[in-house]
A and B are shown apart, each in its own frame.
Chain A
Amino acid sequence: MDDYVSESDSDYTSYWRDWFISSRGNEYFCEIDEEYLTDRFNLTGLNTEVQYYQYALDLVTDVFDLDCEDEMRESIEKSARHLYGLVHARYIVTTRGLAKMLEKYKKSDFGKCPRVQCHSHPLLPMGLSDVPASKPVKLWCARCEDVYNPKSSRHAAIDGAYFGTSFHNILFQVYPALIPAKSVERYVPRVYGFKVHAAAALVRWQHSKRDDMRRRLRKMEVESGFKDAEDDVEEDDDEEEDEPEEDEDAVVGLDAYEERQVAGYIEAGGGQQPGTVA
């Protein structure tokens, strides 16, 4: 993060934003238009939020020409990055900003959802708070609608307020066509082919919640967004259907110890058993 100082007399000085967004660790940021940055209205209130506000702004907009000590310069640098982040949170919810972030989203610049059933769906950066320096940036998956920690510690240290709590939700409001199809695919823990009772009971409860929701939405004539046909509500809630392959030799290796271990905690119905209709 601090390596800019050493390059201060290279070509990059005239293109601070270029340098900033291409720095390692800053992959989540898009480039804010000059036009947006120079419109004071867009920066309302930030002067009290950022130290050396004017110098920082000069630096970001490539008009900085103060001759100063390295230490001072470094402070201004730091302020410039903070200022850029704060403006960024505002910029990415504008039409231009949304479009830029969308391009990055399409290229999976923010990474992919680690959840197996999301099949590498691209993520979006988000904040859990709009207050600077309160929560680091997180990643949002529009497919499972959940929040994940960035893999790299470099990203995990970025302030979440530079992306804000609304951006990722606004994006899909503005581009509803991009809302990914929702899926009922899910993982069900098993032991030797059999569902674990405690988990299976929870899964059944969750599926009834899901079906309730789908019925509510249908009543309101709102598209539920599940890729599965709307009328599958009842049918699809049994995972057997999602996992057609059942291992025939599930019991190989099951010795007496494990048999004892497992008894009572697993459910029939998961493993393929003789006489079960496949």
Chain B
Amino acid sequence: MSTSSGIPESWISSFCSLLGHEYFAEVSEEFIEDDFNLTGLQTQVAMYKEALEMILDVEPEDDDDDEEEEEEEDEDVSGDARDGVTGRGERRHHSRIASDLSVIESSAEMLYGLIHQRYICSRAGIQQMSEKYDLGHFGMCPRTNCNQTRTLPVGLSDIPGEDTVKLFCPSCLDVYVPPNSRFQTVDGAFFGRTFGALFLLTFPEYDLSRSAGENATNLARLPPGDDGSMLNGMHARNIAPGLGPGKIYEPRIYGFRVSEVARSGPRMKWLRDKPADMSVLDEARHLAEGHGDSDDDDESMSLQGRPIARRRAPGNARLRQQQRPARNGSPMAVESTMNGA
């Protein structure tokens, strides 16, 4: 396909310039050529070798030499087959039939997507994505109180075919359907579940608290050595700047607040809430004060006196069991103390 005269566009850049593929970074050949990065993908994609060749614009290996054919079967995975192929590019024959090509093409897209999921979590890839972020390639949060904070493409699953790409907003920590329907055919697994959060952890100096509205761009970096306090591993001001007091919609009728106890009263404020004083989220303090839900538990049980009391207790026990071994693994874990204290 890319063999026309002149300088052919690489498969990767033509893939990334397709309509709907605006969120994709161009994975470097270097990354793809490192076999370590492709670990486990052979089994996930049909015609893996051909797909890989297509992505790398390597001429397909031909099979008129019977010896070569044998080689082709198993070894290509190791990567050295590629070198052989490159050298013989000129001798190619058009033996491949069209149906094969379309299978390879779709395999190549799948393979590229899976590599992409890994690439954007690598140092080079996340850097490239930050450049796209700076250029506003990923759109903005549709939530009014997020003031047009720029979003990041994410998947809700790492397994292809399960869901389409979504947009993660660092300001409200929520995920949204991309506004344009052309993104609704892009597999979310090609971005994966990790990228969005990893991006925030990798670039803590993005000042997310300044909205696009206030600032023309929300990309101002925090000054180096910024006094902004750190909280739970992030700049406190960067933890959900779009949430909390003043950023929660208050339903009103003719100027009067709709009460929580009204049937149609607000029930979802917690989702957009944030402590006015973020230090209450500080794990150390949390621990010292022995703050937890367990006492409220008793309160509401005695209050109701319904059979719920019986149902809840085993539920908690189950959770405790489930959480303890896991949470103990992290020095930052606090959940087990919340139940135990």
Tell me the smallest distance from the CB of A114 to a CB of chain B, in Å.
4
| Interface size counted on chain A using CB atoms at 8 A | 88
Given contacts A189-B168, A198-B239, A217-B261, contact A252 B40 (CB under 8 A): yes
Cβ contact within 8 Å between A202 and B156: no
Residue on B with the closest CB to A175?
B264
What per-residue 1/0 map shows which CB atoms of B274-289 lie under 8 Å from chain A?
1100001101000000
CB neighbours of A231 from chain B (8 A): 304, 306, 308, 311-312
Task: Report how far A116 CA is from B254 CA in the complex, Å.
Answer: 31
Nearest Cβ on chain B to A171's Cβ, whole angstroms: 9
| Chain A, residue nearest B316 (CB) | A234
In contact, A166 and B322 (Cβ under 8 angstroms): no
Count of chain B residues near A, Cβ 8 A: 94
Q: Does A58 contact B (CB under 8 A)?
A: no
B97 on the A face (CB < 8 A) = no
Nearest-CB residue, chain B, relative to A143 = B268
Inter-chain contact B264/A173, CB cutoff 8 Å: yes
Question: When the two chains form their complex, are residues A252 and B232 in contact, meaning their CB atoms are under 8 A apart?
Answer: no
Give min CB distance, A137 to chain B, whole Å. Answer: 11
- A225-B260 contact given A215-B300, A247-B159, CB 8 Å threshold: no
B330→A262 contact, CB < 8 A: no
A151, A220, A252, A265: the one contacting B233 at CB < 8 Å is A265
A219 to B264, CA, bound (A): 17
8 Å CB interface, A204-223 against B: 204-213, 215-220, 222-223
With A199-B240, A234-B293, A268-B327 known as contacts, the answer to whether A116 contacts B175 (CB < 8 A) is yes
- Contact check, B326 vs A273: say whether CB atoms are below 8 A apart: yes
Contact B273 A206 (CB under 8 A): yes
Contact between A261 and B175, CB atoms less than 8 A apart? no
Question: Taking the complex as formed, is A138 at the interface, i.e. its CB lies under 8 A from any CB of chain B?
Answer: yes
State which of A196, A253, A273 has its C-beta within 8 Å of the C-beta of B121: A253
Q: Do A258 and B121 contact each other (CB < 8 Å), given the known contacts A114-B179, A182-B267?
A: yes
CB-defined interface of A96-122 with B at 8 Å, one 1/0 digit per residue? 000000000000000000111100100
Q: Is A255 an interface residue (CB 8 A)?
A: yes
Nearest chain A CB to B311 CB, angstrom units = 6
Query: A192–B274 Cα gap in the complex (Å)?
Result: 25
Please state if A218 and B173 are interface contacts (CB–CB under 8 Å): no
B233 touches A149 (CB 8 A): no
* Residue in A closest to B166 when the chains form the complex, CB atoms: A116
Q: Which residues in window 238-289 of B have CB below 8 A to A?
A: 239-240, 243, 249, 251-255, 258, 260-275, 280-281, 283
Determine whether A11 belongs to the interface, using a CB cutoff of 8 Å to chain B.
Answer: no
**Of B143, B252, B274, most A-chain CB atoms within 10 Å:** B143
- B174/A187 in contact, CB under 8 A: yes
Interface residue A27 (Cβ < 8 Å from any Cβ of B): no
Question: Of A151, A193, A215, A216, which is within 8 A of B142 by CB?
Answer: A151
Note all chain A residues with C-beta closer than 8 A to B14.
Answer: none
- Known A-B contacts A173-B264, A202-B173, A218-B304; the reply to A235 vs B251 at CB < 8 A is no
Q: How far is the CB of B207 from chain A (nearest CB, A)?
A: 16
Q: Which residues of A are found within 8 Å of B258, using beta-carbon distances? A: 169, 173
A84 vs B300: C-alpha distance in the bound complex, in angstroms?
A: 52
Interface pair B329/A268, CB less than 8 Å apart? yes
Least CB distance, B195 to chain A, in whole angstroms: 9
Q: Determine the residue in chain A with the shortest Cβ distance to B252.
A: A165
* Contact status A268-B312, CB under 8 Å: no
Q: List 9 A-B contacts (CB under 8 A).
A: A114-B179, A117-B174, A187-B156, A208-B293, A211-B293, A222-B265, A257-B122, A268-B333, A269-B333
15 other A-B residue contacts (CB within 8 Å) besides A146-B249, A176-B263, A234-B312: A114-B177, A145-B266, A146-B145, A149-B142, A189-B197, A190-B197, A196-B197, A197-B232, A209-B270, A211-B296, A218-B304, A231-B308, A234-B297, A235-B312, A269-B333
